[in-house]
A and B are shown apart, each in its own frame.
Chain A
């Protein structure tokens, strides 16, 4: 029923077929199975579903970043016609959101973080939920929210992580402002600096970034006939049903989370958003409830990318060999920890980039401030450090008269090298190929388009882990079943957040079982009815759920072929299951040709289930301690290189991207037509990160002035 590849050599968990050239469905540029509905406009997203007599819910949020709450009164609000209830923290059965590592994992006690569902006596950021209003109409909500009386006694706040860690800083939480700390001490950094020909220092800062997916947080909740609370929400993690159950104090089996197609996630729908509030409203009223956050709420209060202060000191030999890094990172976690400690762990592991560095001293800390909380965002801490390590590489190259490509290729990691954290790279590193690819494609730097214009070229390379931290016991399950007519049903708990997650699973099942794509139906993202496949995060979903579907499909194929073999007396090894080219599937062998419906009947006659459950387990490893040293932290890493030509208007500072070329080792793409988009988008997000406005002032209290401000 299951398979595992702990520590297996080769690319861990890759689709293990050796016959890549024989692929007929996988690696074909097929139209995604969700495209037809999306272009027709008929896809129903989380905010598109409505029930008759549905209620609406909205949060009252703190208008100040740091205060004691001295009084709360819902009398006036509750009196507004159409208002059904107004809830405060005391009305929440268990008023704590525990942010473990989401999903089906063991608890990692050291990283446990918590916050109140509805703040009771203290608010720590502008936008923190204080009350939940439920009403018959959005108009009643609007009126009532203005009438919820909350008195705040403002307290001093702290809005910079370094200041938050200094002595005497206002304590955001009683236990102090330090959330997490990681250290790496590898080799002898002091000796390496003493022996260096060149030492380069740099200090870099990154800012808050909002995910700004087009779909703001939304969902609908209702109680079904079995007394199960259903939440159909925009999320990357259906496993949050457990967190909801804990807040409500009901068994986990009484909460169901459904993830419809999600209008973009990028990490911003990894933590809970509307879920606990919808659940409370449904539980209290017994009626269907919809909650739709405004874009302004989304910008104000949902966790952002961590701003980081990166201080690098780098030692190099005259020939360009990087000898040592000394790195200090401070991250702004905002008012609540969320996944900050883990994000910082990713930053720490990736902090030296895709380069071999034998002597490393790293210290990374993340701190509470009264800014908006920060948490997961695509790359999960791996992005911010690129700015640091790549700027250092360019500085070293400039000091030594080397080209940016030369210094990167000279220090590039290779298979068999050991990362500073201690993990050995076991798979092929195509970094140099990526660098050569972008250089080849780029050709010569273009000339400026006018007299007061200048063109600059930059390049950068990166390393990015994929799959979850190895001590999180990651797994994914999927079920495949043949129908009597030979069509195929796939069930897998994967949330499809726009990356074609469900469509890829259809391709894999179709490949193995020979059932044409238009006869494969995928049920996905349902915590009650589809086998749990874990979070659509951490670049893990295709690795995990793809392999689970593959496992299930292989089992099913073998079962069907076995039944046919016994029925016909043919050796199973001589039978094949494949598309018949006419819209169906055949089981073919020497002198034998059965339709799939015929084979399914044989299975039924012979008590062979025409269905299978496959579970795929990620590689295992031991948890790390504060001093990072581990044989394995992540399943594996992938590499890429980007090149950009920019034109700057010297007088106005206006920047125009002339050309942007990216090369990534994506392995064998399941659907090659999807890959360009999935890499082009981060490029645009990256350039947005560079050029868009800063959104949060040092007061922590800046209501973003509209969507155009991030």
Chain B
């Protein structure tokens, strides 16, 4: 038995090793030890989806996984859907175009859940998209723009096959930067 554990995770392509209490959830490990704050604490019960991340490609509630259980795993958060230099991935572009983020607190979890949903490339109906996003709560948008965005992302991929996979990763030789989405002003602070 141990009370501390040295855990190595590959988070958004970066290998991170931290030693801490063996009782830490993946969410606390990411946020408090690794400084990866895009997965959010929303409920601690796996109900709200704000902490959703992809664990070896599968969507999980980071608050309901012990970091010690998944030593060596690959973790993808919303930030990991961006390409090199923070260029938005196709799903992020669709969220942007469809105004799918308001307060934005649910957005990282929505993005990774949607990425997992679209991973196999099968075209989903609107109802299937809604079903796939059950368990990710949003209190601002009324969900419409989010479903629009996921629909738009899969349509865009169909219309213009993208060399990047659903996680926004370009195969070798395809990482030419894409233009940022329509420019907005800079934000203070």
Contacts and interface: CB of A to CB of B under 8 A. Distances in A.
A213 B99 contact: no
Scoring B48, B86, B139, B185 by chain A CB atoms within 10 A of each residue's CB, the highest score goes to B185
A38 B139 contact: no
Interface in B31-83: 31-32, 35, 37-38, 40-45, 47-48, 50, 77-79, 82
A676 interface: yes
A33 interface: yes
Nearest to A662: B142
Nearest to A488: B185
Contacts of A263: 40, 103-105
Contacts of B179: none
Contacts of A36: 88, 96, 180-181, 184
Scoring B92, B102, B137, B182 by chain A CB atoms within 10 A of each residue's CB, the highest score goes to B102
B187 A32 contact: no
Nearest to A137: B21
Contact of B96 (A39, A681, A707): A39
B104 A261 contact: yes
B145 interface: yes
B163 interface: no
B140 interface: yes
A420 to B, nearest CB: 32
A498 interface: yes
B92 A40 contact: yes
B103 A214 contact: yes
A708 B43 CA distance: 9
Interface string A77-102: 00000000000000000000000000
A522 B45 CA distance: 36
Nearest to A525: B189
A520 to B, nearest CB: 4
A705 to B, nearest CB: 10
Interface stretch (B106-114, B122-130, B170-178): B106-114
A31 B186 contact: no
A40 B99 contact: no
A118 interface: no
A99 B31 CA distance: 34
Contacts of B40: 45, 47, 214-215, 263
A673 B97 CA distance: 10
Interface in A25-64: 30-45, 47-48, 50
Scoring A41, A43, A261, A491 by chain B CB atoms within 10 A of each residue's CB, the highest score goes to A41
Contacts of A70: none
Nearest to B141: A677
Contacts of A522: 185, 187-188
A214 B42 contact: yes
Contacts of A214: 40, 42, 48, 50, 103, 105-106, 137-139
A708 B183 CA distance: 39
Interface string A278-294: 00000000000000101
Interface in A466-505: 489, 491, 497-500, 502-503
B78 A213 contact: no
B121 interface: no
B5 to A, nearest CB: 14
B101 interface: yes
A680 interface: yes
Contacts of A523: 188-189
A267 to B, nearest CB: 12
A215 B105 contact: yes
Contacts of A292: 41
B88 A684 contact: no
Contacts of A215: 40, 42, 103, 105
B107 to A, nearest CB: 5
B13 interface: no
A518 B188 contact: no
B140 A677 contact: yes
A139 interface: yes
A46 to B, nearest CB: 10
Scoring A33, A260, A524, A681 by chain B CB atoms within 10 A of each residue's CB, the highest score goes to A681
A674 B97 CA distance: 12
Scoring A261, A498, A499, A674 by chain B CB atoms within 10 A of each residue's CB, the highest score goes to A498
A685 B145 contact: no
Contacts of B142: 677, 679-681, 683-684
A502 B189 CA distance: 12
A498 B102 contact: yes
Nearest to B106: A214
A616 interface: no
A111 interface: no
A282 to B, nearest CB: 19
B43 to A, nearest CB: 4
Nearest to B45: A706
A55 B98 CA distance: 40
A211 B37 CA distance: 23
Contacts of A30: 182, 184
A40 B86 contact: yes
Given A35-B96, A292-B41, A264 B139 contact: yes
Contacts of B103: 213-215, 261-264, 497-499
Contact of B99 (A261, A294, A520, A673): A673
B115 to A, nearest CB: 12
B141 A521 contact: no
Interface in A659-679: 673-674, 676-679
A545 to B, nearest CB: 15
A212 B185 contact: no
A218 to B, nearest CB: 8
A135 interface: no
A257 to B, nearest CB: 14
A39 B187 contact: no
A33 B184 contact: yes
Contacts of B50: 214
A50 B102 contact: no
B104 A43 contact: yes
A39 B111 contact: yes
B101 A35 contact: yes
A624 B88 CA distance: 53
Contact of A506 (B31, B44, B47, B185): B185
Contacts of A47: 40-41
A674 to B, nearest CB: 6
A363 interface: no
Contacts of A510: 185
B95 interface: yes
A317 interface: no
Contacts of B77: 41
Contacts of B182: 30-31
Given A50-B35, A264-B139, A292-B41, A518 B185 contact: yes
B66 to A, nearest CB: 15
Contacts of B139: 211-214, 264, 266, 681, 684-685
A213 B139 CA distance: 6
Given A34-B187, A42-B38, 7 more contacts: A31-B182, A39-B100, A500-B102, A521-B188, A677-B144, A681-B142, A684-B143
Interface of A: 30-45, 47-48, 50, 139, 211-216, 260-264, 266, 292, 294-296, 489, 491, 497-500, 502-503, 506, 510, 517-524, 526, 673-674, 676-681, 683-685, 706-708
8 contacts: A35-B184, A39-B95, A213-B105, A295-B42, A517-B184, A521-B185, A681-B141, A707-B47
Which 7 pairs between the two chains have the least Cβ-Cβ distance? A498-B103, A680-B142, A263-B105, A41-B38, A38-B104, A523-B188, A33-B184
